[in-house]
Amino acid sequence: MWQRRVGGVADVVAAGSLAHGGAMNRREVVAAAAAVAVGRRRPSQPEWAGWRVDGDRINRWLDELGRFGANPDGGVSRVGFGDADLQARAWFMDLMRSVGLAPAVDPAGNILAKVDGAEPGAKPLIFGSHIDSVPNGGRYDGTVGSLAAVEVATTLRSRGYRNRHPFWLAVWADEESGLVGSRGFLGAIGPDELAATRTKDREPLGALIKRVGGDPEAVAGYRHDRGSIAGYLELHIEQGGLLEQWGTDIGVVQGIVGILGFDVVVTGFANHAGTTPMVGRRNALLAASELALAVDRVVKSQPGRQVGTVGRFEVRPGAQNVIPGEVHLSIELRDLDMAKLERLWREIETAGNAIMRRRATSWTVARRPANVAAVSDLSVRGAVTEAARGLGLSSKAMPSGAGHDAQNLARIGPMGMIFVPSVGGISHAPKEFTAPADVTNGVNVLLQTLLRLDQG
């Protein structure tokens, strides 16, 4: 859609002269003219290394998109498939059309704008994010990466860039309630899930997908397999406070952490809080509290960025005058290294067994299906690092503690993510904020990384 046909040898000499500092020998002119003849224009690195996005434009688009589902406190409620999401999607597709892209909705409800590539048989490079939000969420989560894709495409078009690979700009549907659209893209949504009505919806998922222009009947046969894409890139706000704390411009994401989750029931003996002596009580709350402290201690006992959390803690019967007989709690461990998570869990188990013996209580553990870590591709990571360096920006490798559509795309091809700082580390809340200059930096890194991947 946005490929400039280069007129002839004169244009090529002009373009080539930027790279060669003037003189081009006869052989180069002939080679360059031949490239034009097959419709390719591959500028040399020194030319495109200087290309920059329009920071004012992307930040203005962010403000405009922030109107959909806006809350008085500055955030947005734009839950996937809700009215505000539908309005935002319509606006987004209009924006894509206004810059010369041709968006369409795929069977799973994702917005995809495909730009043909010049090289026959080259696999697509996909980049984008999502525009739905959590209830009472922020204006930057997902929107930065989605609008960045349009900004990058607009910049490349204005430069007359002819992409080798097909470029697919993606806005994944309903990211916040289980990465719905990107799972549908892989072919991982089955008939049961399409027929089911989730707690937050009034209608089955299939009907919701249909409402945004998807095709639930075609979802079953829709899939993208391993090896079918050249790469996936997603720019996203960090949603944590590390980049700000380090004073670093760009996070080069090593991967999206895996999660081990456990539902635990600690059982003691509920009895009268007045008549039962202190000695010999089987207090489930005290045993469960020690267990929560053990999770914290074990996770902190090793170097690394692993985290462990007891996030749910329900005391039963939960009466002032009854010794707690039962506690239901969750334990969650996250890291990029699944083997490390298993080791940490074994240590917690050992500690837990000792606590239960000492407190004369017992525990049962139900393990949830693991979320396997998605490691980003080393060469894509290298391209992000180089891109940042070329822009004079500082960067640092880091894991993503939050889930992203990128973890699904990593299953079918080389994945990379670029993080920009979140002020105060606040996200999924109205105070979520990323400074306009940081947004612009991130979009420039996306542009320069994409060019490296397309040329490389």
Residues that bind Zn ion (CB under 5 A): 141-142
CB of 116 to Zn ion, least distance (A): 29
Q: Across-strand partners of 260? A: 333
CA-to-CA dists, residue 24 to 15, 29, 46, 206, angstroms:
10, 6, 15, 59
CB of 390 to Zn ion, least distance (A): 26
For Zn ion, the closer of residues 7 and 424 by Cβ is: 424
CB of 125 to Zn ion, least distance (A): 20
Give the dihedral sign, CA 152/158/163/169. positive
Radius of gyration of the chain (CA): 26
Q: What is the DSSP string of 92-136?
A: HHHHHHHTT--EEE-TTS-EEEEE--SSTTPPPEEEEE-----TT
Backbone angles phi, psi at 126, to 5 degrees: -105, 140
Asked whether the beta carbons of 245 and 387 are under 8 A apart, the reply is no
3-state secondary structure of 225: coil
CB of 182 to Zn ion, least distance (A): 11
CB atoms within 10 A of CB 150: 24
Q: Across-strand partners of 42? A: none
For Zn ion, the closer of residues 183 and 359 by Cβ is: 183
CB of 208 to Zn ion, least distance (A): 19
CB of 422 to Zn ion, least distance (A): 11
For Zn ion, the closer of residues 176 and 454 by Cβ is: 176
Asked whether the beta carbons of 395 and 388 are under 8 A apart, the reply is yes
For Zn ion, the closer of residues 141 and 337 by Cβ is: 141
CA-based nearest residue to 348, from 392, 396, 306: 306
For Zn ion, the closer of residues 235 and 264 by Cβ is: 235
For Zn ion, the closer of residues 3 and 407 by Cβ is: 407
Write out the E strands in 165-208: 167-171
For Zn ion, the closer of residues 142 and 413 by Cβ is: 142
CA distance 282 to 361: 6
Closest residue to Zn ion, based on beta-carbon distance: 142
CA-based nearest residue to 255, from 453, 398, 409: 398
For Zn ion, the closer of residues 145 and 213 by Cβ is: 145
CB of 142 to Zn ion, least distance (A): 4
CB of 236 to Zn ion, least distance (A): 6
